[in-house]
Amino acid sequence: MKRQFKLKIGTKYETLEIPFENIVEGKIKCEPQCIEDLNTEVKNSLVSMAGNVDTNKLNSDCKVVIVSDDYTRPTPTKKILPGLLNFLANKGVKKEKIDILIGAGVHREMTKQEKVEKFGKEICDNYKIYHHNALEESNLCYLGETKTKIPIYINKIAVEADFLIGIGVVEIHPWAGFAGGPKIICPGVAGKKTINYTHSIPVTHKNVEIGVTLGNPFWESIREAAKMAGLDMVVNVVLDRKERVCAIFSGEAEAAQKRCIEIFKSFNEIVFDEPADIVITTSNPKFQYWGQAAIAGYNADAVIKEGGTRIIVAACPEGFGDSQQEIIFYFDSLRNKWENLDRYWEEKQGIMYDNSRNACAVHRHLRALKKSDMIMVTRGLPTSTPNMKSQKVVGTLDEAIKMVLDKYGKEAKVIVYDMGAMVLPIVSGCTRIVHTQ
């Protein structure tokens, strides 16, 4: 007997049929409560801020910069901005003194239509919106080194602001533990050199793992960078698996992020009694290209048995990446088997960690393959050939199902959940495993 699951793949929901007898969906602590009037909740969050925020700095002469995440994140920025802008106006900040900076890291520039969808037409027509360019050194300020010796270069627009605000979503992140909070600044508006060095940390340091912030050297480094840049406050939201806003906190970056994480875990931490032979999930909301979609793959590593198989259904409309460099790098990396992970890192990290952002993603993918297989179901990537030894790709879920049916049989234990790159799956009684290198 086949069971049907309605899961989000790319920009739409699809009904998938899964023919196994032992399917487990997991448990959550409580059902999410969707916010009906987001504008009111934004206002309330700005009245009762988390942590200490010096709003006395806001006045008619104050230059405000709002840093927002880009098209790769599901943050409902256009629904947050009206309330935030009204708050600033009430503090005396002039409209012409407010700029918006897209914290894109090294992602491609957003199209005009993507900006309208992200910020709303009225905002696009009435405010200056800048795309952060991590490669343009003349647009960066050097702020010194972190305790972990990471050189911090941050966009001048952000550094020169009198009051710096970040907008983002709190969800799982493979290196920082969770997105949101200080991450909007670094790597959001950091220079390429800073991004290179921070993205070497997942390989060169211990305790970098999904769902872990405190004691995580990646998170601690970006927290330090945000303080160096002068981040005054953030507006962070928590979404459920239907991408509805269920919580919003404004305030000091760490304090607001911490409150969001607590809410996030109450309904986005999915608990299973034991690991499964097969895990089936989607890569949403990180579906744009391989480097994003792969996050769902190593997130599922926490609930898969040794020798199991993870099936990740991903749209990947941009294939292997949003730049020619990424496309070439990922395809070349995945052509080989790479039994020795140290050898992979030595060969692919590049001079001064120049390829570390991409290399650490592949390194984590290869590490997960030591424990279990992974099949990516997508039309956006070339299907598996002998030249793709570290990546199995098929065009349909039926093909992937046939492969695991033949291997495990219909009695296999199967875990199914949606939004595999946003939620936090765990096994009951276990915390997320903090791997050491």
Which residues share a beta bridge with 116?
A: none
The pair of structure tokens assigned to 43 is 């206002």
Three-class DSSP labels, 374-413? EEEECCCCCCCCCCCCCCEEECCHHHHHHHHHHHHCCCCE
Q: Terminal CA-to-CA distance of the chain, rounded, Å?
A: 43
Q: How far apart (Å, rounded) are the C-alpha atoms in residues 72 and 183?
A: 14
Q: Phi and psi at residue 224, in whole multiples of 5°?
A: -65, -40
Residue 200: name the closest of 61, 74, 358 by CA.
358
What is the layout of strands, in order, in the sheet containing 64-68? 128-131, 98-102, 64-68, 163-169, 231-239, 245-251
**What are the CA-CA distances from residue 94 to residues 62, 91, 165, 275, 420 (Å)?**
8, 9, 15, 55, 42
Q: What are phi and psi of 289, to 5 degrees?
A: -155, 175
Give the number of other CB atoms < 10 A from CB of residue 297. Answer: 28
Rounded distance between C-alpha atoms, residue 245 and residue 257, angstroms = 15
CB of 87 closer than 8 Å to CB of 39? no
Among 275, 287, 281, CA closest to 372: 275
- Rounded to 10 degrees, what is the CA torsion of 102, 105, 106, 110? -20
Residue 382: beta bridge partners?
none
Distance CA 421, CA 376 (A): 13
Reference 166, options 88, 234, 86; nearest CA is 234
Catalytic residue among 132, 173, 199, 363: 173
173 is catalytic: yes
Instruction: Kindly list the catalytic residues.
Output: 107, 173
